[in-house]
């Protein structure tokens, strides 16, 4: 007899605690976005690079994540957001701006492109708060844990999906993630990884999905058939009742995954869906492949899989299991190159590589974990323009110049940043904003000094300098101070704060020719 999910969770929690006591996965090593490692269908349709080549911003709250998105020059300006700490409802507020469309209580990646969200340091945990992707493209989510997102009860977020994609989404790579719930629909949870309403070219790799009634789906109903081209590889599905995944139409590729304790059904191909199922290891599970709960059948191509203690139900009017001796019912042509690990070693190599905090290790195709080299286009250290202690010489060109900006707090003035007085300052209305110095004619500038007011030193966490005439980025950094760049002739220069630990106070925005 199958035990209720709550009892299975208790047993699994005990096993997890025992593993921790044995010293397994006690630390989460520093990670960087290895965008060169994208695989599967996310390599198609122009590829998936996320924020490669863009500014690197650190965030420790959901509000700071939103602020980083909203602080970009446009909704498509590349950005890498490094996340550390616990993101929850209490620290995730809506931020407004021309380059974003955010909401409180959910990490909203909506109507944007070219973004990487990567967990670093001690790790990134999205607690009871989902990651929502809508009308967006070229997104990478890497090395994060998303847990206990609910669609009913309290609190709710993202319709109950840990990661949900919906409405014209293209090219998403989710890699080395841990997605987990603590029950099924009756406990308030929904899917861990859902794709709906025209979502295409997605890869889920080296991730753990566990302790949920529903693993995920492609298509929200039998009429939502515009989704597909999804790859699942080197993932561990553990203690999942069904939908590992559910496919309604579309094409998918599942290879080198470890499925353990699929309690009711696994890969459910229906409504004309096609799935290629290569070299996976199915263990201690029921009805791991077939068409279930409908008479609208899908199809599959199978090769090299291991079925270890798998049971199969009898066929019925809405139940078409592929086993007990699965045979191919279609042919799926895969347009990208991939290397298969032997199915027999999949449980071991997936255990060592999948999930957040595993060092972004990947398999080399010979069942041996390897740590990939980061993409050279995404530096692993802050840019060399981080301000240093050198004081400039010459005349401060800001004295007597004009000033304006975006997002001014009540009681402050843009002009306070160029009056030579450290006791006056400009503050944005929140944690981000911009202030500019401008001249009536072109002026040559190659050095800037930004001085924070007393009591606010170190509040600015990330910034960039813009040539306001052209929009070009002159320099970026992570603390206020001195920045240098090639001498540029311009009429207006902008200091833009993209992340801060509180409300910044900029006392002086000094500009120098040399």
Per-residue tokens: 326? 């699965």
212-217-222 Cα angle (round to 5): 130
* CA-closest candidate to residue 443, choices 509, 364, 513: 513
Cβ 379 vs Cβ 80: under 8 Å: no
Query: Kind and range of the H or E element at 32?
Result: none
Separation CA 233–CA 143 (nearest Å): 16
β 433-452/506-512 pair status? antiparallel
CB under 8 Å to 199, separation ≥6 — which residues?
Answer: 165, 166, 168, 169, 170, 172, 218, 227
Separation CA 355–CA 129 (nearest Å): 18
* CA-closest candidate to residue 513, choices 495, 497, 494, 490: 490
Active-site residue numbers?
243
Cβ 432 vs Cβ 480: under 8 Å: no
Per-residue tokens: 428? 């944005």
* DSSP result, 453-507: PTT-TT-EEEEEEEETTTTEEEEEESSSSEEEEEEEEEEEEEEEEEEESS---EE
Q: How far is CA 28 from CA 65, 120, 397, 425, in A?
A: 21, 8, 47, 40
Residue the block writes with tokens 């699994």: 12
């Amino acid at each position: 007899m199958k035990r209720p999910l709550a009892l299975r969770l208790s047993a699994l929690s005990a096993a997890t605690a025992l593993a921790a006591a044995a010293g397994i996965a006690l630390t989460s090593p520093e990670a960087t976005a290895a965008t060169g490692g994208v695989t599967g269908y996310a390599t198609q349709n122009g590829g998936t690079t996320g924020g490669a080549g863009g500014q690197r911003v650190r965030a420790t709250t959901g509000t700071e994540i939103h602020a980083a998105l909203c602080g970009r020059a446009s909704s498509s300006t590349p950005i890498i957001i490094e996340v550390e700490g616990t993101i929850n409802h209490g620290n995730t507020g809506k931020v407004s701006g021309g380059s974003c469309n955010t909401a409180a209580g959910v990490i909203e990646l909506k109507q944007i492109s070219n973004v990487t969200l990567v967990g670093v340091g001690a790790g990134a945990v999205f607690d009871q708060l989902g990651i929502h992707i809508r009308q967006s493209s070229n997104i990478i989510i890497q090395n994060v844990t998303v847990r206990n997102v609910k669609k009913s009860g309290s609190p709710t977020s993202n319709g109950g999906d840990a990661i949900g994609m919906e409405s014209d989404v293209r090219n998403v790579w989710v890699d080395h993630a841990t997605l987990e719930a603590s029950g099924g629909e009756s406990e308030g949870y929904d899917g861990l990884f859902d794709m709906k309403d025209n979502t295409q070219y997605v890869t889920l790799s080296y991730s753990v999905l566990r302790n949920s009634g529903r693993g995920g789906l492609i298509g929200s109903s039998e009429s939502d058939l515009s989704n597909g081209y999804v790859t699942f590889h080197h993932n561990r599905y553990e203690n999942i009742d069904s939908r590992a995944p559910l496919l309604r139409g579309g094409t998918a590729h599942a290879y080198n995954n470890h499925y353990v304790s699929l309690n009711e059904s696994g890969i459910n191909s229906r409504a004309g869906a096609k799935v290629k199922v290569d070299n996976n290891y199915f263990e201690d599970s029921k009805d791991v492949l077939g068409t279930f709960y409908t008479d609208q059948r899908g199809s599959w191509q199978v090769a090299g899989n291991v079925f270890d203690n798998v049971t199969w139900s009898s066929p019925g009017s809405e139940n078409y299991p592929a086993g007990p001796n699965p045979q191919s019912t279609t042919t799926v042509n895969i347009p990208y190159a991939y290397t298969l690990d032997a199915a027999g070693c999949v449980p071991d190599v997936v255990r060592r590589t999948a999930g957040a905090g595993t060092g972004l290790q990947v398999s080399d195709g010979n069942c041996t974990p390897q740590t990939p080299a980061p993409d050279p286009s995404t530096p692993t250290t802050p840019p060399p323009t981080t301000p240093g202690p050198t004081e400039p010489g010459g005349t401060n060109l800001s004295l007597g110049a004009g000033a304006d900006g975006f997002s001014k707090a009540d009681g402050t003035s843009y002009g306070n940043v160029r009056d030579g007085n450290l006791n006056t300052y400009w503050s944005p209305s929140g944690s981000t904003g911009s202030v500019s110095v401008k001249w009536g004619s072109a002026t040559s500038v190659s050095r800037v000094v930004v001085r924070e007011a007393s009591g606010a030193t170190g509040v600015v966490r990330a910034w960039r300098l813009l040539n306001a005439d052209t929009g070009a980025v002159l320099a970026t950094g992570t603390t206020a101070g001195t920045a240098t760049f090639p001498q540029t002739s311009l009429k207006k220069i902008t200091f833009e704060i993209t992340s801060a630990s509180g409300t910044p106070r900029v006392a002086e925005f000094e500009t120098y020719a040399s």
